Structure 1
């Protein structure tokens, strides 16, 4: 059974409530990516979810550790979480450049999928910050230097260019509307499979990277950018992400 590492797709919430003259703080923890994990498990993959707060301490830092997986998925987790291990950030101890290692691993035969979100690609207020890392060398797209979110509260229709491509998993040509995505450019030599928006920005793109492969889905795998009509009710959702995983690990 092929194994997938899904890094990201979780967050902590701190809410301050004021009731008359009294005030208190409530904290909670939430995970997303339920639909994505179900799609991959349904296609026969073993999925290990590494929540965002675990990434700084637990994300693989060597080829040997990465080789435990057939596919690495980065979804809504910024570059800082991969780069700033506690020893480096808190104690100024030299450590591994895990993004550089991941990039090299892909070229040597690994597989990488980046999924959009507020902390993917360049992200909200450019805080995802992948444009300044080695990950850009192995993605099928180029990244903006500034906030790249394209909020589309009115909805925007994806346009499938190559429905026959195996990476799309026979998801068909008619996809539900999305509510936003990360704006990127297409890198030379990459295959553009689906676009979105008035500028026909890349939505799904794939590329060969040395001995390995990479792909992007520039919208979200869950609400809010991927509303229930896309991520929960559309029967093409499972086929799409299973197709991407199958093509990447072929």
Structure 2
């Protein structure tokens, strides 16, 4: 299969530290997990070369400037907070001045790159506002405005996407009936953006331009827990992400 393009994905990983209390005694366990497989498989089976950086790897290895990012057709952040990119270990531990990697993403998009932010507890503004993207260079390039407070909308009852721009390349051919989602980040589309799809009365997919480049906000998840099994196993899942990344990258 010919390569469609190259994409860098950062995030979609976590570590859980559990304390087990058994009467008088207790012990701890640690589990590391990743939620990337559905998104990565969707893109790779569509010909995309995927370079994946779990959050702890992105903290050190995410590129520092637009020139380094220019090797990619699209950059994606999924469930990874701004501090991971702002506070390189050498800066946080050793007080070494280093380039602002949020500025690097902004400059990369302005020069013609593609950018996608996927929703989650640590993207947009996130749980307890700890995503911390409001007011940053990332908000500048996104087609949406980000709230300054916790922006989660938990929908345990399920909320069904509604397509507004059926002819838009991101959703073309996917049909009107999509599986439900279990939550999303609430954002507000910018005046010059295209609201492609919504959940309830809020945006789900918003597309826009910044400089010579393009950006997309997908406000829900690409993996559990906000994206349940019915969504990640949906036959439209892979085409959706291929078309979304393809549009953002200009392909």
**TM > 0.5 fold call:** yes
Q: Which runs of 5+ in 1 are unaligned?
A: none
Q: Give the Cα separation in 2 of the matches to 1:68 and 1:43.
A: 19
Residue 33 (structure 1) aligned to one of 26, 31, 36:
36
SS of the residue 1:166 aligns to: coil
Q: Give the Cα separation in 1 of the matches to 2:124 and 2:133.
A: 6
Partner of 1:146: 149
SS of the residue 2:134 aligns to: helix
Q: Give the Cα separation in 2 of the matches to 1:6 and 1:102.
A: 12
SS of the residue 1:247 aligns to: helix
Q: Give the Cα separation in 1 of the matches to 2:66 and 2:116.
A: 17
Q: Give the Cα separation in 2 of the matches to 1:170 and 1:239.
A: 9
Alpha carbons 1:119, 1:127 under 8 Å: kept: yes
Partner of 2:245: 245
Q: Give the Cα separation in 1 of the matches to 2:96 and 2:142.
A: 29
Partner of 2:209: 208
Q: Give the Cα separation in 1 of the matches to 2:242 and 2:209.
A: 18
The 5-angstrom pairing of residues 1-250 of structure 1 reads: 1=3, 2-197=5-200, 200-232=201-233, 234-249=234-249, 250=251
Q: CA RMSD in A?
A: 1.0
SS of the residue 1:168 aligns to: coil
Alpha carbons 1:169, 1:241 under 8 Å: kept: no
**Shift, 1:169, TM fit:** 4.4
**Shift, 1:223, TM fit:** 0.9
* Aligned residue pairs, count: 247
Output one character per residue of 1:184-221: Cα deviation in whole Å (capped at 9) or x when no partner.
00011111100112xx2110011121111000110000
Alpha carbons 2:67, 2:108 under 8 Å: kept: no
Q: Give the Cα separation in 2 of the matches to 1:56 and 1:239.
A: 30
**Shift, 1:9, TM fit:** 0.2
In the superposition, the TM-score normalised over structure 2's length comes to 0.96
